Chains A and B, each alone.
Chain A
Amino acid sequence: MTSMFATSRYISPIVNIRRERTLPIPGKILVRKGQSVNTMDPIAEGILNPKHLVLNIAHGLGVSVGEVEQYLQCGEGVHLMKGDIIAGPVGRSRRVVRATESGRVIQITTGKILYEIETVPYQLKAGLSGNVVEIISNRGAVVETTGVLIQGVWGNEMIGSGNLEVRGDTPDEIFSAEELDTSLRGTIVAVGTCEDEQVLKKAERLPLRGLIFASMSPDLIPTAIEINLPVILIEGYENCPMNAAAFELLTSNNGHKVCINAQAWDRYKGTRPEIVIPKLHLEGQASTDEIMSFCPDQTVRVTRAPHAGQIGRLVKLIGYAVMPSGIRTQAAEVLMDNDLVNVIPLANLEVLE
């Protein structure tokens, strides 16, 4: 029997983290190599949602298409302010075409101008505190840091940083809106489970800088996407307690500065929502990102029922086994925290690094 690839994720106390942060479009780089950046610092900017105008200059001036060129006051690439003259004057009435908005001339063809209206550029944030180790031309940069790395399963695509406040003594506590008070303002709160929309709304009102849940009701996804602070799930949906390794890392770093990048988990791009607690004074092993196969002694997390979210040690690969549901699949014996050995399909395990 050949070995089987394992899906893996980091729940690691100390690791060297390098993250490529790039715009989806060409843009302007705002940092330099060697620069120290914080999570919320912009590293590049670009126009994600451009707005354009097509101005019919020939029509506006009342001249033929062929005559337009002689009346143009600007060329391609020129920035104009609102009210600036684009073309003209023409005739005794001194007819002109003016820029109705500030912007830039993009193209001039057949008597028409394509004009890009000035809009606020999208700023790509660093997403973690660290040092810029590489510039990616027109796109972004690579940021490096050392610290705790906890990868999640879902994020609302926002970024934040603040001091960590772990609430609850156990990883399975259900958090209520009443537990959010003004003492938590400006912090990132980590708790067990969220089942109440009011938790999300109140967190935004206070405001918090971020929320880390073990799990959340899927009904709350639209609200979590709507609110203006990052939300990360470590385990998944429904009432699933936080795995012991992540809970231990968070509680032992209570009060420390934490960065959250609640980016989507994209299997094709290899991105996951991440929590980073920088420990720049420590040295960590480089994250390998190398393909991994299951083998004994790995620390594994069970991804689905029964034992969903539990962590154990892979004892033995046992080849094919039949599960209670009748499914026959490759499986492993896993020694769980309660000292019991369970047979779990390899497809339901992920290796923790």
Chain B
Amino acid sequence: MDANSILIVDVGEISTRALLFDVVEEHYRFIASGISPSSFGVHQYNVQDGVRAAIDQLVAITGRVFFGEDGQLILPSTPDGVGIDAFAVTLSAGPPVEVVIVGLIEKIDIESARRLVKTTYSRVMDVMSLNDRRTTEARLDSILRIRPDLIVIVGGFDDGSVSSVQRLAEPVGLACSLLTNEHRLEVLFAGNQSIQGEIRSLFGKNANFYQAPNLRPSIDVEQLNQAQAEVEKIFFNIRKRQIPGVAELASWAGTDSISTSEAFSSIVRFLSLSLESNKGVLGIDVGASATTIAASFCGNLVVSVYPEFGVGSNLDELLTNMPLSDLTRWISLDIADDDVRNYLFNKSLYPSSLPVEDKDLAIEQAVTRQVIRGALEKTFERFPDREFNYSKHHLPWFEPIIATGGVFTQSQSVDQTALILIDSLQPTGATTLVLDHYHLLSALGAAASINQLMVVHVLDTDAFMHLGTVISPVGEALIGTPVLRLQMIRDDGQDVNLEIKYGDLEMIPLPVGQKASMQLHPLHLFDVGMGAPGRGGALRVMGGELGVIIDARGRPLKLPDDRDERSELLTKWRRALAR
């Protein structure tokens, strides 16, 4: 029997959320959420303290009872509505999982292994390949020095090399035999399947051994899915050891404990399959521990998790991944570079702190733009080539684009949120921007394995904020050149006719709940995603917080080098979307 009431807890680096879903008038609904600062660290602290505090808040809001007198969750619920029918956990908190990759060839199997571990919160600490000239002893010592959380062994096509993989795995086996049980390594083998037995026997009882189908069974085939499921399992096992309370929490949830990134990406894939669109679905989760990009093209999922682009305690590392000017270019206020740098470092000390002054908010918004941009550019190389319409610097067509993360939901205005997303994602063609302001997506991803109907019902409600439809013509022109003529006829009969010039950013109000028909006529071979450059057509749009946004600022978006000019332009754009 499908569960009626479902409680999902998400433990993040900064906040722990408890989200309740239940049946209301024969439909599943999101009922309420409770939030608490996450709790870990000091000896008696335990993630469960944060979880209980978040659930207590939910109790205060809903008046429902979830815990029995023994302090345990009441599962399933009693006929009088006490307790819940199902419970699941998503988790993103914790330091990045430290990984060593062992494989044959950098551009083939090792590249696939990098993609595999990028699907969770990880950091590659060392790579051992055929080109690695270190001795066996040096590799062994490297593993013993790093004491990684996970070693991924790949390599060899299924009808290919055997001895090279075995030779490369040898120091891993030695390292495992030297480490005590306390440092028992997690080892995943996803290479040539014909030597799976030999590799397993190399480790015996000295490691927690996992196996998955070959990531690269042949040169032109990459299969990550099953290995990804193993990485998920390993991730949770590592967190159970690392963070007090996670093991108990996972025992409440049974098999329904997954990483937030996995839950998030699974719902993006679910949407892509259910919408049956020929465009992809894009999800962005800007979190304290990482920024996650999940894109699904007809169910083919690309997911990458970037701890280096988290907006929490690792912000002090941001400038090792990008120059400061990449951040400051987005700030219209007069703020010295040193102040921006100091801000990043101080924020890394107090990641949960909030911007009180406009100056601090401006820096945080610049950081958000740039972490999304940085993560997206790194993910572009993973999108299928066929999905790119122009170059690998232009976002493929997506419908919709969904964003989530504390940075968007701390009550900064909706227009600022929309502008951050448009500036950083730089969508092309026509797309819908959706904000997950209740942080439901990963919860729904976790709930999908419990009750798919609930997911469908909740996605169909107004629990998500429809920011607006963005139309972004792509092409080249001089600033001020007309590039698009459009007519929008609202269902209530009102109509708007506009000529959009290159460089314009315009907003056409269309309130939530209203619909309109649009006719687009691109000029000068500009492309609005209707089949070919210069081709126009009709478009049905739904109302949103900002209605319809026409972004003709060009792709990729270029900002003037001159500081004053840039500041003036940023201010102009902000005003263009201000409600």
Contacts and interface: CB of A to CB of B under 8 A. Distances in A.
Contacts, number: 161
A324 B358 contact: yes
Contacts of B255: none
A184 interface: no
Please classify the interface of chain A as helix (H, G, I), strand (E, B), loop, or mixed, using the class held by over half of its residues: loop
A51 interface: yes
A206 interface: no
A270 B39 CA distance: 10
Contacts of B72: none
Contacts of B107: none
B350 interface: yes
A237 B350 CA distance: 12
A338 interface: no
Nearest to B352: A347
B346 A291 contact: no
Contacts of B134: none
A51 B145 CA distance: 9
B387 interface: no
Contact of B356 (A1, A236, A305): A305
B338 interface: yes
A316 B223 CA distance: 57
Contact of A348 (B36, B177, B350): B350
Contacts of B95: 268
Q: Name, among B44, B49, B242, B353, the residue most crowded by chain A CB atoms within 10 Å (CB to CB).
A: B353
A226 interface: no
A236 B36 contact: no
21 contacts: A5-B49, A5-B53, A49-B141, A50-B141, A50-B145, A238-B342, A268-B93, A268-B242, A270-B42, A289-B42, A289-B44, A304-B353, A308-B346, A323-B356, A324-B358, A325-B412, A327-B361, A327-B412, A329-B354, A347-B37, A348-B356
Interface residues of B, number: 61
A339 to B, nearest CB: 20
Q: Name, among B34, B43, B347, the residue most crowded by chain A CB atoms within 10 Å (CB to CB).
A: B43
A214 to B, nearest CB: 13
Given A5-B49, A238-B346, A51 B180 contact: no
Interface residues of A, number: 52
B540 interface: no
B253 to A, nearest CB: 21
Contacts of A219: 341
Given A52-B140, A54-B137, A237 B346 contact: yes
Interface in B355-393: 355-361
A238 B349 CA distance: 13
A106 interface: yes
A218 interface: yes
A53 to B, nearest CB: 6
Contact of A291 (B49, B137, B411): B49
A24 interface: yes
Given A2-B36, A305-B356, 15 more contacts: A5-B53, A49-B141, A51-B137, A107-B177, A267-B313, A268-B95, A291-B44, A291-B45, A291-B49, A305-B357, A326-B411, A326-B412, A327-B410, A345-B354, A347-B352
Given A268-B41, A327-B412, A306 B353 contact: no
Interface string A20-33: 00001110000000
A63 interface: no
A48 B145 contact: yes
